[in-house]
Every structure is written in C-alpha cells, then in structure tokens.
Amino acid sequence: MKRSIVLFALIGASCTKESPTQTQAVVPRAEEASASVTGPTACPQGMVLVEGEYCPNVEQVCLSWVDATGAITDPPGPGFTGRCGEWRFPSKCLSATIHKRLCVDVYEYPNVKGQRPQSWMTWESLKVACEGQKKRLCTRSEWTFSCEGPDMKPYPYGDGYHRDRSACNFDNPVPKDVDVFKSRAPGDAMSKRLDAMLVPAGSMERCVSPFGVHDMVGNIDESVVNETGHPYKSGLMSGHVFGVRNACRPMTEAHGPTFGWYETGGRCCADPSQ
C-alpha cells in the first residue's frame, strides 16, 4: 500500500472548459424554501448556523488511493486529480485557527428539499441569485468549514475518513448515451440528460456534514469566492456526478466567473442576525 501526504495549500484544476454562457437563476418564492430545518433564529429559514474554529492549513494524509469503482490504485500523478479511499485519522492542524460564524443553505440552490439543484449557473449568476434573497456567496474557507466541521474531516459523511460512493452522488459510471461535450447550452438534449443524473436535494440522507449541510460533495460543483483572488475571484468546490476528489478542501481554480456548464451551481451563505 502506497502512502502520500496531501497538504491542501495549492489545489490543481480538474477541468479547463471555459464558456461565456450565463443563465437567469430562478429565485424560489419564500413559501417554496425548505421548511424542514429548525435551528437558531440567527439564520433565515432554510439555513443552518455554522460556528467554530476553522483551521486554514491542514495536513491530511491519504493512506490509499482508489479509482471510481473503489478499487485500490496508484497515487495520482502530477497535474491529475485523485480519489482518496482512506485518510489517516485524525487530520492535523498546522496553523492557528480562525473563528467562523455564518449561515449556510441546507441544500444546493434553489435550496428546496426534494428538488434537483439548478445547473448551468455561473459564479456571477449565483451571486445575483443569492443577493436577490438577501444572502451572498460563500467564501472558500466558509464552504470548507461547513463541509468538514471543526474536526477537519476530509469527507462530509460517515466517519469522514473513508470514501463511500454510496453516500453521495459521485463516482457514477458514464452512460453510453452521454457525451458531456455535447452539453453546450442550458436546456439542450444533452444538458437535460445530464440534469437527470442529479439527485433531488436531501434524497441521499447520509450525505450530510457535521453541521447538517446536505450534498456538499458530488451532485453539482458549487461556486465560491476564492479569497486569494488568483487566478480568479471565483472557484468551484464539491466535484460532480462523475467524480473527482469530492472532498471538503480541494478547489478547482481554472474557471473565471462567467464559466457555466452542466456541472456548475452552488449554494448561498449569509451573516447571522445576532
């Protein structure tokens, strides 16, 4: 068994497709928002409070790498993304922590339990949609903390240290009738076919983070604010239905704020009211 130390200070890109396509996000009516979550009054309905100590610099050691089927494989080479089958317990914080306190949508946009997330959203269109609900985009560190919790678990399900393709919607085989490069615009035949592979929000009950945030890995890539601003102000977290790293720390940095494709969507954050 080969061992590999992964320090998530620099994260490589997993896709280089760029598109100027932007879509008009559909803002759900207030009565359509998830009413299944109760919690502190500091957060609006359909959001949960995330609070605790976030570690900016974490050592996470991968003990074994797997392919999309879960079979043990060699570590990924330079420039390639990889799936970690088992992480060393526990993760180790290498820096001082930062206190985080924020509200996060329970589900991916439009944040309605039982509804599939909206695809073909750009960073810019998600920003507009969130602001239309008096919310905002999540930053990368906020998204990561909401996913991994204070114990810095690499995966937001199970014990947090073992990859489980049955817990969340990722590592799906590519159907014979699917060619993602034929997905060229929202609503075209291939985009509809790919949308059909998305699962309804909250339908995979084990795919929930320590804070109670659902579907944070797999299903659809989620736009966040890249706090470094390099190479873009935008970033993508989570990974998609076909599977890449699908963990709480990695971010795809290759796409600008106008990039939108079958795999892109997101969720909103907000500042607590008290």
CA distances from 39 to 57, 92, 147, 233 (A): 30, 30, 18, 32
Q: What is the pLDDT along the chain (274 residues), one digit of tens a residue?
A: 444 444 433 333 333 333 334 444 444 433 334 333 444 479 999 999 999 999 999 999 999 999 999 999 999 988 788 999 999 999 999 999 999 999 999 999 999 999 999 999 999 999 999 999 999 999 999 999 999 999 999 999 999 999 999 999 999 999 999 999 999 999 999 999 999 999 999 999 999 999 999 999 999 999 999 999 999 999 999 999 999 999 999 999 999 999 999 999 999 999 999 8
Distance of alpha carbon 273 from alpha carbon 168, whole angstroms: 31
- CA gyration radius, the chain: 17
pTM: 0.87
106 class by beta-carbon count within 10 Å (0-12 exposed, 13-18 middle, 19+ buried): buried
Nearest to 231 by CA among 81, 58, 12, 19: 12
Distance of alpha carbon 242 from alpha carbon 246, whole angstroms: 10
